[in-house]
Amino acid sequence: MYNVIGGYTYEVSSILLIFFIFVASIVLTSCDKKPTIYEYVETDIVVETGEYKLPSKLTIPESKQKVPGVIFVHGSGASDMNESIGALKLFEELAIKLAEKGVASIRYDKRTYTYAEHLATKLDFTVYEEVIDDVISAINILKQNDKISDIYIIGHSFGGQLAPVIANKTDVKGVIILAGTTEHIIDVAMNQLKEQNSPYYNVYDPYDEYFRDIKEVVPSEIGYFFMGAYETYWVSYNNINLSEEILSCGNNKRMLVLQGGLDLQVKVSELDNYKNLLKDTNAEFKLYETLNHMFVDGTGETITTAYQIYKEIPNIVIEDISKFIKG
């Protein structure tokens, strides 16, 4: 009886041992499996809206399957396709690192960068011409590419603020907002000038309420210049209800809002504003305590020293964006 039981015990132990070895081999194999790093191809293209032709880059991972794609939307001011500021090139680095994760993209020189001289005297220039129309043109390029599946918008700073507005006008799958703002752009700019003790604060302060609220332009006012733009620009911007656009986007699109804890341009409280507006949606939020406005380490920086030395975007930011897009 003992030998039978002993033999039975030995047989069961052997089976269990083999089973555990098999499971362990699966676990170890899965742990050793490295994430795919895609090769990619960059092609010079043109984003064209009417008479405006913008030099652009199409970055596509080499894949047998369709891949998601993103359109990068610049912050305020004239900017090249890489959104170069000091030693940093936010959009170029994001484009390449996302391509390695299997995400395609289009980035392009902003219209105010390519046509700066022409647009400087265009009295009827609007926020649609500055930002929105060209993003829609870029989206249409990706839609016509048979290698692309879902399309997302990645907007930085002012581009992040306008990303929901653009998404609501198109059939993109969602938006990623990098250091976006929910407040009026004049309020954001005035707060920045005040914190920097800039002499421009006193120059703009007497007029900021008017230009923040102006909803239409009468002929006698055309040509009145404020913060780098004429009245028609402020009218077009003021007629956008930012809160409604953000909420509508959150109810109908996927949204990811990212913010750096050491951002010197956009306050961390803006992330809370987004959370409050989107509290009843499925929007996702990420705060990186040590990152600045360009999503690199901002430890010890001031407004005059920031962005002067190249720093790499941490992998966690790339991972969060790519996982969201592929999720």
Confidence of residue 29 (pLDDT cuts 50, 70, 90): very low
Q: What does the pLDDT read at residue 62? A: 97
SS3 content of the chain, % helix, strand, coil (to 5): 45, 20, 35
User: 264 to each of 88, 120, 186, 187, 268, how far by Cα in Å?
Assistant: 16, 28, 16, 15, 9
d(CA 243, CA 193): 24
Q: Which pair of tokens denotes residue 295? A: 């999503």
β 254-260/174-178 pair status? parallel
Percent of the chain with pLDDT over 70: 90
| CA distances in angstroms from 144 to 27, 47, 138, 148, 245, listed in the order given | 42, 13, 10, 8, 26
Task: Please count the residues of the chain.
Answer: 327
**pLDDT tens-digit profile of 136-170?**
999 999 999 999 999 999 999 999 999 999 999 99
Q: How high is the mean pLDDT of the chain? A: 91
CA distance 124 to 224: 11
Higher pLDDT, 24 or 60: 60
- What class has domain 40-326? alpha beta
Q: Smallest Cα–Cα separation from 44: which of 60, 29, 56, 32?
A: 56
- Residue 33 is predicted with a pLDDT of 61
Evaluate if residue 1 carries a pLDDT over 80: no
Beta-bridge partners for 60: 41
Question: Can you give the pTM of this predicted structure?
Answer: 0.89
Average pLDDT over residues 111-123: 95
* Residue tagged 């016509």 (tokens): 144
- Closest by CA to 231, choosing from 98, 125, 120, 114, is 125
Q: 287-306 pLDDT, tens per residue?
A: 999 999 999 999 999 988 99
Q: How far apart are CA 205 and CA 228, in angstroms?
A: 15
Boundaries of every domain in the chain: 1-33, 40-326
Q: What is the pLDDT of residues 77-116, one digit of tens each?
A: 999 999 999 999 999 999 999 999 999 999 999 999 999 9
- Whether 187 shows a pLDDT value over 50: the answer reads yes
Alpha-carbon gap, residue 42 to 284, rounded angstroms: 30
- pLDDT of amino acid 260: 98
The answer to whether residues 291 and 260 touch, using CB atoms and an 8 Å cutoff, is: yes
pLDDT, one tens digit per residue, over 247-259 is 999 999 999 999 9
> In the structure, what pLDDT confidence band is assigned to residue 221 with cuts at 50, 70 and 90?
confident
